[in-house]
Amino acid sequence: MRDLPARLRELLLETGYTVDGVRDRLGTVAATALSREETTPALRVTRDGDPLGTLIRLWWLGTPVEAPEWLPVEALAEGGLVTVQDGLVSAAVHLQPWETGGYVVSDRKVRPGDPALREDHVVGAGGASANLAQLVSRRPAGRVLDLGTGCGVQVLHLAGRAEEVVATDVNPRALRMARLSWALSGIEGVEARQGSLFEPVEGERFDLVVSNPPFVISPRGRFTYRESGFEADGFCRDLVRLAPRFLSPGGTCQLLANWLHVDGEDWRDRVGGWLAGTGCDGWVVQRDVQDPAEYAELWLRDAAEQGTPRYRELYDDWLDWFETMKVTGIGFGWITLHDSGSLDPVVRVEELGQRVELPVGGYVDEVLASVGLAHRLTDEELLGARLALAEGVAEERTGPPGAEDPSRIVLRQTRGLRRATQVGTVEAALAGVCDGDYPLAPLLAAIAELTGQDADDLLVRAPEALRPLIAEGFFHISTP
């Protein structure tokens, strides 16, 4: 078959093998069962032998199907996408439609009871892939690097807004599958290079570096798709420390990471320390923390090792190893570095457990700008600046019924990171009046008069109270 990827893509689209097509066909019950690794309901709703059901069984569920005459089986076998035996066609890869409208090729999904994973297993696109894609800035970029491209999924998100994309991976099988993913998604011109960390791009600079790295922290690097073989969380640390050397001025690096919580050490100091000295502004967000047992179980399950004869031994080993390092938990989150060119870079490290507006990439540049501005504006500059309440900030007042004044005032963002913070009456009054028309100082003077406070004293105190509210995006500095 000439130009197999293009013709296969056409066939997949015609058949309705798309994200929506698969979702509609499976329905909620079968899809939810699949998330519990139960395939029976999905097999039941795809048993009619129609083209869409057949493709879902073949490439989504990994079940052999009888060779249909409308599928170019021979060409697909030559292309390494299926194998054929006794008239039955089996998937040689996992081929999944992706939310960008493209397709992702990886190794077949492992399910409980499957044979052990090969060390160079290429993992498919999943929750973490989507998580990073949602985090990455939507700003158009010139040169982009996807480090640890795996099945190539990040490139599907980046292709439309980058002039040039370089994708690297230490695993040559991953690069082969990534190329297939891009071809099936109609993406051309991506440069795929093999090598570890930044080795394949030595001496080059990028406007954007993204990475969903092999962040899993385990006693030994058994699987390339998730473990680097570096000690503990050393791979993510080195990635962060090295990244600035590969950023163009104004460039950004965004990655997912895991980090250790060690007894007697604040995790903020640990991860903050990775960014200190990079010369970049930074934003670290912890989205989740697991205890050592939950963590080991999660990743043993991920490799379908639960229930195998080695399960207990591997689990025990993992916990022993954590114990020797005094690990109390493992954090998961996002790291963003921005080469702002400032001689006084700022790093914000925080925990965000709440649901946030997606995609974060739609406003991540604003988040970084706010953190930088709040840190670098002098008190005098701040008092002369025009502040505007951010869009979607609501005020909540609570107190005893009938009381004249509330005992608690909270400003709550209904958009973006959806933060909430308790404020005093001055900040609340400011939130009510500042719309970017007047500089801060006269507004504060007016509030002082209304609330019976000393204006000079308030002008001295206000910058310290307002700085965190600017850093957290409750107020923007508005240019008149």
Ligand X SMILES: C[S@@+](CC[C@H](N)C(=O)[O-])C[C@H]1O[C@@H](n2cnc3c(N)ncnc32)[C@H](O)[C@@H]1O
Which of residues 214 and 329 has its CB atom nearest to ligand X in the complex?
A: 214
| Cα separation, 218 vs 211, whole angstroms | 19
Per the document, the length of the chain is 480
Q: How far apart are the first and last CA of the chain?
A: 62
Residue 389 tokens read as: 């309440």
CA atoms within a 13 Å half-sphere pointing along the CA-CB vector of 242: 17
Residues 257, 238 contacting (CB under 8 angstroms)? no
Which of residues 63 and 185 has its CB atom nearest to ligand X in the complex?
A: 185
| Cα separation, 143 vs 120, whole angstroms | 28
CA 39 to chain centre: 27
Residue type, 94: H
Residues 341, 369 contacting (CB under 8 angstroms)? no
Which of residues 229 and 436 has its CB atom nearest to ligand X in the complex?
A: 229
> What is the closest distance, in whole angstroms, from the C-beta atom of residue 180 to ligand X in the complex?
14
Which of residues 332 and 474 has its CB atom nearest to ligand X in the complex?
A: 332
- Interacting residues with ligand X between 142 and 201 (CB under 6 A): 147-151, 153-154, 168-171, 174, 196-197
Give the residue from 209, 197, 244 showing the smallest Cα distance to 347: 244
Give the residue from 170, 169, 324 showing the smallest Cα distance to 232: 324
- Interacting residues with ligand X between 118 and 147 (CB under 6 A): 123, 125, 129, 132, 147
| Contact status: 225 vs ligand X (CB under 6 A) | yes
The site map against ligand X for 311-340 (x = CB under 6 A) is ------------------------------
The site map against ligand X for 200-219 (x = CB under 6 A) is ------------xxx-----
> What is the closest distance, in whole angstroms, from the C-beta atom of residue 226 to ligand X in the complex?
6
The site map against ligand X for 18-57 (x = CB under 6 A) is ----------------------------------------
Three-state DSSP at 309 gives: coil
Stretch that binds ligand X, among 107-115, 223-231, 343-351, 394-402 (CB under 6 A): 223-231
The site map against ligand X for 228-247 (x = CB under 6 A) is x-------------------
> What is the closest distance, in whole angstroms, from the C-beta atom of residue 369 to ligand X in the complex?
26
CA atoms within a 13 Å half-sphere pointing along the CA-CB vector of 363: 16
Cβ count within 10 A of residue 108: 17
> What is the closest distance, in whole angstroms, from the C-beta atom of residue 233 to ligand X in the complex?
14
Which of residues 54 and 258 has its CB atom nearest to ligand X in the complex?
A: 258
Can you tell me which of 25, 226, 338, 348 binds ligand X, judged by CB under 6 A?
226
Per-residue DSSP letter, 134: H
Strand runs labelled E in 230-322: 247-262, 281-290
Binding site for ligand X (CB under 6 A): 123, 125, 129, 132, 147-151, 153-154, 168-171, 174, 196-197, 212-214, 224-226, 228
